[in-house]
C-alpha cells in the first residue's frame, strides 16, 4: 500500500529549526490524551505520570513533539482537574 506524501513546513520551535507535516503544526494538544488526563500537571511536570515525564524528556533531548494517542495509565480528568489544565493551556 502506498502512503500519500504530505507537504511539510520548516519553522523554528523553541529556538530550533524543525519540520512538521503541513496541517499538523500547533495541533499537538488537540491530539494528545495527556491534556485530558487526571494525572497531567503541565505547570509542574515532576508531578506527571512516569510515561509523560519520560516522553517529555525525549521531546526536550531530541527537539520533537509527540502527542499521546494511546495510554495504559490514562484516567479522564475530573471537571476541576480539566479546568486547571485548560487554564494553563490558555495562558
Q: How many CA atoms lie within 13 A of 7 on its CB side?
A: 3
Would 62 be classed as within a structural domain? yes
Whether the pLDDT of residue 5 is over 90: the answer is no
* Gap between the Cα atoms of 84 and 65, Å rounded: 22
Between 5 and 40, the more confident residue is: 40
Phi, psi (degrees; rounded to nearest 5) at 35: -70, 0
Would 38 be classed as within a structural domain? yes
**Residue range(s) defining the domain that contains residue 63:** 27-89
pTM of the model: 0.80
Would 39 be classed as within a structural domain? yes
- pLDDT tens digits along 20-72: 999 999 899 999 999 999 999 998 989 999 999 999 999 999 999 999 999 99
* pLDDT score for 76: 96
Whether the pLDDT of residue 1 is over 80: the answer is no
- The vertex-70 CA angle with 66 and 74, nearest 5°, equals 105
Count how many domains the chain has.
1
Whether the pLDDT of residue 14 is over 80: the answer is yes
Would 15 be classed as within a structural domain? no
Would 3 be classed as within a structural domain? no
Amino acid at each position: 500500500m502506498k502512503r500519500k506524501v504530505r507537504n511539510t513546513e520548516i519553522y523554528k520551535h523553541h529556538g530550533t529549526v524543525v519540520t512538521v507535516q503541513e496541517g499538523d503544526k500547533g495541533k499537538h494538544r488537540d491530539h494528545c490524551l495527556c491534556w485530558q488526563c487526571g494525572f497531567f500537571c503541565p505547570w509542574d511536570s515532576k508531578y506527571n505520570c512516569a510515561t509523560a515525564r519520560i516522553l517529555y524528556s525525549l521531546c526536550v533531548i531530541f527537539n520533537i513533539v509527540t502527542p499521546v494517542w494511546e495510554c495504559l495509565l490514562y484516567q479522564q480528568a475530573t471537571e476541576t482537574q480539566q479546568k486547571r489544565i485548560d487554564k494553563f493551556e490558555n495562558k
